[in-house]
Amino acid sequence: MAISDTQTKPLEFDNSLCAECGACVAVCAFDAIYLRGWGIKILDDECTLCGLCVLVCPTTALMENEA
C-alpha cells in the first residue's frame, strides 16, 4: 500500500517539500520508510506510527494528520 494524501491516513507526505535527506530512514526502528525516487515510501505493514520520522523531518514533508 502506498502512502496517499487522503484525509484518513495518519501520516501525510508532501513530495514537493522532501529534500531526500534520509533523516526519516535513519530514525525508523521498524524498517518502515525508504527513500524512493524523489520522495519516500512507507510500508504500512511495518509502520507503527511511532512518529519519529515526523519529528526529525527538517522540511515538514512528513506530517501527522491533524484530523
**Footprint of another protein (CB under 8 A):** 17, 19-29, 31, 35, 52, 55-60
Beta carbon of residue 57, minimum distance to another protein (angstroms, whole number): 7
Residue with cell 501525510: 12
How far apart, in whole angstroms, are the C-alpha atoms of residue 23 and residue 6? 24
Of 5 and 31, nearer to another protein (C-beta) is: 31
- Phi–psi pair at 2, nearest 5 degrees: -95, 155
- DSSP, res 59: T
Minimum separation from the CB atom of position 20 to another protein (A): 6
> CB of 48: closest distance to another protein in angstroms?
13
